[in-house]
Amino acid sequence: MCGRFTITHPNEALAALFDAVPGNDLPVAPNFNVCPTNSVAVVTSAGGQRRLRAMRWGFIPTWYKAPNDGPLIINARADTVATKPAFRAAIRERRCIVPASGFYEWSEGDKGARLPWYFTRADGQPMALAGIWQRWGEMDTVAIVSTEAGPGMAQVHHREPVVLERTDWPLWLGEAGHGAAVLIQASAEGVMAPPFRVGVAVNSNRASGPELIRPVAA
pLDDT at 13: 97
Along the chain (218 residues), what's the average pLDDT of each consecutive run of 10 residues? 91 98 96 98 96 98 96 96 97 98 92 92 97 97 96 89 97 96 95 95 96 93
CB atoms within 10 A of CB 88: 14
pLDDT at 1: 64
State which CATH number among 1.10.287.130, 3.90.1680.10, 3.90.870.10, 3.30.300.90 fits the domain covering 4-213: 3.90.1680.10
pLDDT at 40: 98
CA 145 to chain centre: 7
Domain range list for the chain:
4-213
List b or e across 122-150, with b for residues whose CB sees 16 or more CB atoms inside 10 angstroms. Answer: eeeebbbbbbbbbebeeebbbbbbbbebb
The answer to whether the peptide bond before residue 30 is cis (omega within 30 degrees of 0) is: yes
pLDDT at 49: 97
The pTM score is 0.96
